[in-house]
Chain A
Amino acid sequence: MTTTQTPDTLRRILDYSSRADPYPLYAELRETPVARQEDGSFVISTYREISDILHNPHLSSDTRNLSCPTEGMQAEGTPAFINLDPPEHDRLRRLAMRHFGPPHTPGLVTGMEGALTTAVGHLIDDFAGKERIDVVDDFAYPFPVAVICHLLGVPREDEPRFHRWVDDLINSIDYNPKTDPKEKLDKGVQARKDLRQYLGGLLERRHGHPGDDLLSRLANDDGPDGRMTDEEIVATANLLLIAGHETTVNLITNGMLTLLRHPHVLQRLCEEPDLVVPLVEELLRYEPPVHIIPWRAAYSDITVAGTTIPKGAQIMLMLASGSRDPNRFHDPDRFDPDRRDNQHLGFGSGIHLCFGGPLARREAQIALGQLVRHLDRPRLVADPPPYRRSPVLRGPIHLYVEQGAA
């Protein structure tokens, strides 16, 4: 297979004007599964090739292995494990996972069922009688934020500060030196510092005073792998916070948007609450919160679909494109909650497979299930809705819905 250069397609995808519907462009990209860009980076857009890359040990998630890292990519301080390779990645992930799921903490997600339902209930109670709501600001954003803050042990009253830091940080993730003001990057750098400092302060108070939250457990762990250093704990908390913030909100919002665009499915969901489980899976395929893994580095020369990617090259994985690959999924552009063969790429795959998947799924299931049951004949105000800037973590910035008598 030859690599043709499709710099134009990628540029158009990254351009804000395609945010509402990048899918036709993904189809264009897939004509060249492994496409070399002018700057020497590679874009991978087909299911099989993405999946190969995610399981390929000759790749690195550590940006220090890129031959020319983009500005803004390099976080100062200890990278979190999402940006590390084995064995460090494995050790830190194991240490964090001990407190987050089976086998050591098997009941975490099921144990939160009550708290999740209550949190959703509070937000929804406010909708009664309201004619217009913003699914993002009134619901999809505050809910997962409250959950992750609760898990980590961040006091409720600090949440507003958090939002600001996380916003600035996320904004800087897709910083493009050619088109973005330097200020965007600076703000992100500052937010990162502030956040780390804040978390460090929280952590300090946990030493020797263990509570039931994740920070306490990490600070006082005595498992077979030993304990994380404070710096590692802060980096991990930082990662969970961001990962827990900026993704689930999109899943819930994309979910509501998709349901409003498929009224018969919305109707079915009201009548068959259990449909929400396969429905959320299908959402993760059809309108996933994470569209792109922007960084993998070739650790040595590798060959993918006949194309050689040289050591040090940056590799972009177009997850959302892979999940719509007609060579993998039957009728991929159809939203079909009854789809049985649905090994989507929504949570990635391989050793970096999303750590919060079970939690995110349950959050979205409860949120969407409750929402459709409590809204009274909801209608979209604008289709498409306005989108956030990011092509990576893609989702509406507001989703206005009207309900009640029209």
Chain B
Amino acid sequence: MTSADNLQAFKRAGRIVVVGASLAGLRAAEALRGEGFTGSLTMIGDELGEPYDRPPLSKQVLTGWVPADNTKLPRRRDVDAEWLLGVPASGLDLANNHVRLADGREVPFDRVLISTGVRARPWFVESEAALDGVFVVRTREHAEALQRALAAGPSRVLVIGAGFTGSEIASVCRERDIPVTVAELAPAPLVGALGAMIGDVAADVQRAHGVDLRCGVKVTQLEGDAQGRLRRAHFDDGTTVDADVAVVALGGIRNTDWLRDSGLAAGVWGIACDTGCRALDLNGLVTDDVFVAGDVARCPNPIYEYRLISLEHWANAVEQAEVAAHNMVSGQADRWPHLTLPLFWSIQFGINIKSVGVPTFADEVVVTQGSVPDHRFVAAYGYRGRVTAAVSFNNAKWLDHYRRLIETAAPFPPPCPTPDQPADTKPVPVDFPGPALLAQGATVVVTGHDPSERRVTAAYQHR
């Protein structure tokens, strides 16, 4: 589809299929109609029911403030689509341009958008994960079940993993006056995302709110009673905790398994794409008719040395969806690059945490405004002398300034004083858990010698 004539015909009567009918999928569908696409639109999703919003699932839904089924995403416009819900896609055939469904149906397309997101990483021992009282939180049903368990007044909740979701859940428990233990392998909460200094602040906050925070430990076993109910957790330091609810918050697994034989650059890291959201194939070549958006996408960002970055951020899903939709119905010359800086927020223990940029792309961090002891401050992250990210605790209104600093590669540390000057303005090392924690095994093998022959094949490992 390269000539303008074809493009017009495609916009009028082409076939677009969206796989993954959640935030990114819905927003893309709306944007496609907004761009004037009048062809057929098919939404494939394995969840039943209308698309809903996930951020409230670890917040207002768990406090009982918002019922789980009140989280439907607001509709911006009528998408006039055919919805194929409740059956997962099981394959993508790029030779014949159709999506295979698990029930054997084949859905043909001219262009396809992949927005299958991530799923919760389950507890690694299946029988223990199946114990009554062990939860994950990714879907509405998960949140609903956990909220019921919390409402029943458990004697103690164990949260495994102190990333954003785990910390938010611990916060809800304290709000509901439920005793909670948080177990984290890293030295502090949020360390993986925000580094050691902010991690220490987060640890203080949790302890001040009465969380039994245990860092540097690993949960080794979840023990059930004769009725198959969770009763105790064992740690690698030999200690135990009695709990009747455990929430496994160990991050997500990208939903790319169904693309295994598709020939796309898809794997545990997500699906690689260009800034225009066009998927790359295994060889790293850009495809024409396959687009990616949302949590499942892995997109280069020129500000960060063109590195491929995967984000699990609401705003990123929305923006990529809009860029992908635009590019799906535009000619080469009118394509948009997805260049907005990552933006993330979380609310926990009464604190509004917000970040801009990529905090993990940094070697130093410095508090630039406010007061750390009061839990209201902004910290800037720097990499080799330029600003690459910023995080605010209860001070979000300033982040726009830092966005500009990042976009203009402003020097780090930012020099001049502000009226709300913190006590200590010396940068400290950012201190992320070592790369050893993040390393993955090899995922591809390259074959061939001549440039016309060289090819990549995927090397799948058993995990």
Task: Assess whether B419 is in contact with A65, with CB atoms less than 8 Å apart.
Answer: yes
Q: Contacts A55-B398, A87-B370, A350-B397 given: A301-B376 contact, CB under 8 Å?
A: no
Task: Output the residue of A51, A85, A87, A302 with the most chain B CB within 10 A.
Answer: A87
Q: Are B401 and A55 interface neighbours, CB within 8 A?
A: yes
| Contact-residue size bin, chain A (C-beta under 8 Å from the other chain) | 20 to 34
What separation, in Å, do the CA atoms of A55 and B376 have in the docked complex? 17
Residue contact B419 to A60, C-beta cutoff 8 Å: yes
Query: In the assembled complex, which residues on chain A have CB atoms less than 8 Å from the CB atom of B416?
Result: 58, 299-302
Cβ of B400 and Cβ of A299 under 8 Å apart?
no
The answer on a CB contact under 8 Å between B368 and A57 is: yes
Contact B417 A58 (CB under 8 A): yes
Contacts of B371 in A (CB 8 A): 87
Interface centre among B368, B370, B400, B420 (most CB of A within 10 A): B420
Q: A57-B369, A87-B370, A87-B371 are in contact. Are A351 and B397 (CB under 8 A)?
A: yes
The residue that A86 contacts in the complex, of B368, B400, B417, B420, with Cβ under 8 A, is B420
**A331: CB under 8 A from chain B?**
no
B404 touches A58 (CB 8 A): no
For B418-461 the 0/1 string (1 means CB < 8 A from A) is 11100000000000000000000000000000000000000000
Query: Which among A57, A301, A351 has the greatest number of chain B C-beta atoms within 10 A?
Result: A57
Residue contact B418 to A57, C-beta cutoff 8 Å = yes
| Complex interface bits, B349-388 against A, C-beta within 8 A gives 1, otherwise 0 | 0000000000000000000111100101010000000000
Residues of A with C-beta under 8 A to B370? 86-87
B420: nearest chain-A partner, CB-CB: A86
Residue A31 interfacial (CB < 8 Å): no
On chain A, the residues within 8 Å of B401 by CB distance are: 52, 55-57
A299 & B376 in contact (Cβ 8 Å cutoff): no
A299 → chain B, closest Cβ, in Å? 5
Are the C-beta atoms of A87 and B376 separated by less than 8 Å? yes
B419 and chain A: residue at smallest CB distance: A85
CA distance A356 to B307 in the complex (A): 44
Please report the C-alpha to C-alpha distance between residue A60 and residue B378 in the assembled complex, in whole angstroms: 17
B419 in contact with A299 (CB, 8 Å):
yes
A52 to B405, CA, bound (A): 11
Cα distance A86–B418 in the bound complex, in angstroms = 9
Residue in B closest to A53 when the chains form the complex, CB atoms: B401
Q: Which of B283-302 contact A (CB under 8 A)?
A: none
Contact with B along A207-230 (1 / 0, CB 8 A): 000000000000000000000000
* Interface: A246 (CB within 8 A): no
Contact indicator per residue, chain A 341-355, by CB within 8 Å of chain B (1) or not (0): 000000000110100
Contacts of B376 in A (CB 8 A): 87, 90
- A residues 52-108 in Cβ contact with B at 8 Å: 52, 55-58, 60, 62, 65, 85-87, 90
B399 closest partner in A (C-beta): A55
Interface centre among A60, A86, A300, A350 (most CB of B within 10 A): A86
B residues in contact with A351, CB < 8 Å: 397-398
Q: Are A86 and B404 in contact (CB under 8 A)?
A: no
Do residues B420 and A55 form an inter-chain contact, with CB atoms below 8 A? no
Task: Tell me the complex Cα distance, A235–B404, Å.
Answer: 34
* Minimum CB–CB distance for A1 against chain B, Å: 14
In the complex, A351→B370 CA distance in Å? 14
- B400 touches which of A85, A301, A302, A350 (Cβ 8 Å): A350
Contacts of A57 in B (CB 8 A): 368-369, 378, 398, 401, 418-420
Q: List 10 A-B contacts (CB under 8 A).
A: A51-B400, A52-B404, A55-B401, A55-B404, A57-B368, A57-B420, A60-B419, A85-B419, A86-B419, A87-B370
Given A51-B400, A57-B398, A350-B398, 11 further pairs, Cβ under 8 A: A56-B401, A57-B369, A57-B378, A57-B419, A86-B395, A87-B371, A299-B418, A300-B417, A300-B418, A302-B416, A351-B397
> Nearest 9 CB-CB pairs, A to B?
A300-B416, A85-B419, A86-B420, A57-B418, A55-B400, A55-B401, A351-B397, A300-B417, A60-B419
